[in-house]
Amino acid sequence: MNKLIMFHVERNIKTLFQRGFFLFLLVGIMQSCISQRQAVDVSDYILVENGKQIYGKEEGLTAFIFQNNPKQITFAQFLGNKYNLMKFTEIEYWVTLEGMKFKVFFYENDELNKYFDTTDFVASNAVPDSAVVGSKVKFLAISVVNEYNEDCLSDSSLFKNIVINYLEELKDEYNTL
């Protein structure tokens, strides 16, 4: 005789509330474990290390990073007009401040993105596309060395205040064109 044995299985049906609560709990735990990235406000300017490399130095230059003003001509055009430069790419020029010579390096957008992670920076001057005259890039960067290739924006530089004053004036002049 063959006996047929049958098992009775009941499905455990979870309610929508139980599933939603579990999902909510899982998301809450995951968010508490993920570290939040800190946003950096660039309403005036910031100094960031490890920029362009120069001959004879292992570490990169410190960069003066500030917000672009898209309602103006490009900053490269501004520098070209101000200092009678013949080109608007790979901009480097010498300037004399308080009787001393300094070489200024302007970062093109590709270089800026190569050396610095600007995704952490917050721009406060959002402009609609219809108002853009120059460039849509959000940030601009400049590094400065003296005649001896010393980083003039580093914390150890004796020229830091002189150079920062020059760069702030340059930035303000560009923003008030």
Per-residue model confidence (pLDDT) at position 48? 94
Does position 27 have pLDDT exceeding 80, yes or no? no
| Token couple for 110 | 């590709």
Per-residue model confidence (pLDDT) at position 20? 59
| Token couple for 13 | 């049906």
Per-residue model confidence (pLDDT) at position 170? 97
Distance CA 107, CA 50 (A): 13
* pTM of the predicted protein model: 0.75
| Closest of 132, 116, 128 to residue 71, by C-alpha | 132
Residues 167, 144 contacting (CB under 8 angstroms): yes
